[in-house]
A and B are shown apart, each in its own frame.
Chain A
Amino acid sequence: MFSMPLPLFAEQIINGIVLGSMYALVASGLTLIWGTMRMLNFAHGEFYMLGGYFFFLLISSLGLPPALAVPLAISLVFLIGLAVQRLAVHPLLGRPQWEFSTLVATLGVSIFLQNAALHIWGERFKTVPYFINGTIDIVGMRLSYQRLLILAVAVVAMLAMWYLLRRTRFGMALRATAMDRDAAMLYGVNVYRVFTITFGIAAALAGLAATMLASINSISPWMGAPLMLKGFVVVVLGGLGSFPGAIVGGIIIGIVETLGVITWSSQWREVISFTVLILILWFRPWGLFGVKES
């Protein structure tokens, strides 16, 4: 790694940040759901997968430009997220053992959506072209416009999320619900509505990541599972329920993976990210930004 010329090294760091920013989008949805509802969503990878397919269909069948196809695709995934929460999760909340039953229900949704995708779209991998071609040379680094665009979109999405959480009435309600569900209810927050919308937002973030990565990775019914696994690594690393934790954790995993793949080989990708996770949990079992349970 250290025999690498400096510009190449810096280039890889930036590629790692780009990849990590997408992990952060996926993970921030998982962490939002955990933070507000205290449940794990095993259908999260399928929200990502649907984002990829919707984007592909809007581009290839309807011929829409990416600037229209991206917002449309994530809006559709948002609606799917709302529907999944209302139909599969909401009826179980507050019942005995809901922590476990919601987990199983989302696992069921995941299997259903994977097979539905397989049935409807087939098993052939789909690809979409780059939004913009070409590369730019900055101080000896060669960076593709596509990756820089992804990074810009991720930054805008994170700032929008920050604004939503910190500066809007809904964000207040969401944070209050996450901190103390009963107290939020006592002061007028319909926490069940917050849960549903949070699910939709989380789904939309995963969908956004898929539209961004669609031209780099390919689209298939199974594309969600590895990303969800990575999302869980990031969430645990950053601290369950912590939004900044998901961002920093995502970027750490993205950089470490990218450098590791260059230094050793891509087969080591998962080994590397799990090693980092285990090392960090060794010293901070509650994750980087998590709160130590008392």
Chain B
Amino acid sequence: MSRLELSRVSAFYGDAQALFDIDLVVEPGEIVAIIGSNGAGKTTVLRTISGLVRPREGSLQYDGRDLASTHPWSVVSHGIAHVPEGRRLFRDMSVQENLMMGAYHRNNAADGKVDLDRVYTLFPRLAERRDQLAGTMSGGEQQMAAIGRALMARPRLLLLDEPSLGLAPKIIETVFKTIREINSEGVGIVLVEQSAQLALETAQRAYLMENGRIVKTGSASDLMNDDAVREAYLGL
């Protein structure tokens, strides 16, 4: 089944090494959180999985396929959808066009329409705003559109980068409720979050990163009860 496995992955930005020997596994249908402070390399792990960053060493397998040699634009058609940090919507396209871009790789307009209805059911707010330019919406609406665009790709694994960033607590609650709903349909999720509390409450397992390395891993509750994690990341 669709298992993601990174083993001993290292990656660079130019000459600067960003990731050191990353070992990470996501089982099908699992929610895995990656926590850590700013600049720890969490985003780079996601960018490596989706092909925007090439690993220099190590192996990167999904569903028995070698992702490290897959073009970045082909990754999505293997069932991995990435909601990047800062949403990265196509700002001068309408909400509906953004959603349809999520289905671009399938090149099947009829399927696209079916999925569009599903996304509008999940996010009724997006249905109201379908003709609005994506760049003019509020942060919460943009996050919903970004997740909606990813769902349009029919992923089996969803990469979410800082979905709570810049959102009001009320909106965060809605977004995370949706994330659990999506997961309950069998979609695996890699959740990168600065808010460790939120991440550990949502995930089953978690990885803690520092300076480009994974320094701790375990079940979410283990990390929640870890003294070092509590002190440094949960402020307890």
Listed in ascending order, the chain A residues whose CB lies under 8 Å from chain B are 96, 169, 172-173, 175-176, 179-180, 182-191
Determine the distance from Cα of A186 to Cα of B70 in the docked complex, in whole angstroms. 12
Q: Choose among A175, A185, A189, A190 the residue that contacts B93 (Cβ–Cβ < 8 A).
A: A175
- A169 and B89 in contact, given A182-B52, A186-B72, A188-B73 (Cβ under 8 angstroms): no
Q: Does B77 reach chain A (CB closer than 8 Å)?
A: yes
The 3 closest A-B pairs by CB, nearest first: A188-B105, A183-B88, A179-B90
Residues of A within 8 A of B92 (CB): 175, 179
Q: Which range holds the interface residue count of chain B?
A: 20 to 34
**CB <8 Å contact, B90 and A188:** no
Residues of A within 8 A of B102 (CB): 187
Chain A CB within 8 A of B97 CB: yes
Chain B contact residues, majority secondary structure: loop
B73 touches A191 (CB 8 A): yes
B contact residues around A186 at 8 Å (CB): 50, 52, 72, 75-76, 81-82, 84
* Bound CA span A175–B104, Å: 13
Task: State which of B73, B90, B153 has its C-beta within 8 Å of the C-beta of A185.
Answer: B73
Is the pair B90, A173 in contact by a Cβ cutoff of 8 Å? Answer: no
Within 8 A of A (CB), among B82-115: 82, 84, 88-93, 97, 100-102, 104-105, 107
Q: Does B42 contact A (CB under 8 A)?
A: no
- Is B93 in contact with A179, judged by CB distance below 8 angstroms? yes
**Whole-angstrom CA separation of A190 from B89 in the bound complex:** 17
Q: Given the complex, which residues of A lie within 8 Å of B82, measured CB to CB?
A: 186
A185–B107 CB distance below 8 A: no
Which residue of chain A has its CB nearest to the CB of B152? A187
Give A96 to B14 CA distance when docked, in angstroms. Answer: 9
A54 to B77, CA, bound (A): 42
Confirm or deny: B118 has a beta carbon within 8 angstroms of a beta carbon on chain A: no
Shortest distance between the CB of A117 and any CB in chain B (Å):
37
Given the interface pairs A185-B72, A188-B77, the reply to whether A172 lies near B101 with Cβ below 8 Å is yes
B74 neighbours in A (Cβ, 8 Å): 188
Q: Identify 14 residue pairs between A and B in the complex whose beta-carbon atoms are under 8 Å apart, listed by A's number.
A: A172-B101, A176-B93, A184-B90, A184-B101, A186-B50, A186-B52, A187-B81, A187-B149, A188-B73, A188-B74, A188-B77, A188-B104, A188-B153, A190-B73
In this assembly, does B177 line the interface, its C-beta being within 8 Å of a C-beta of chain A? no
Given B14, B71, B104, which contacts A187 in the complex, CB threshold below 8 Å?
B104
Nearest B residue to A194 via CB reads: B73
A180 surroundings in chain B (CB, below 8 A): 88-91
In the complex, the answer to whether A172 meets B97 with C-beta atoms within 8 Å is yes
The reply to whether A172 and B104 contact each other, CB–CB distance below 8 Å, is: yes
Find the residue from B14, B74, B88, B100 having the highest chain A CB count within 10 A.
B88
Given contact pairs A182-B52, A185-B73, A188-B77, a sample of 10 additional A-B residue pairs in the complex whose CB atoms are under 8 Å apart: A169-B104, A176-B101, A180-B89, A183-B88, A185-B52, A186-B50, A186-B52, A186-B82, A187-B101, A190-B73
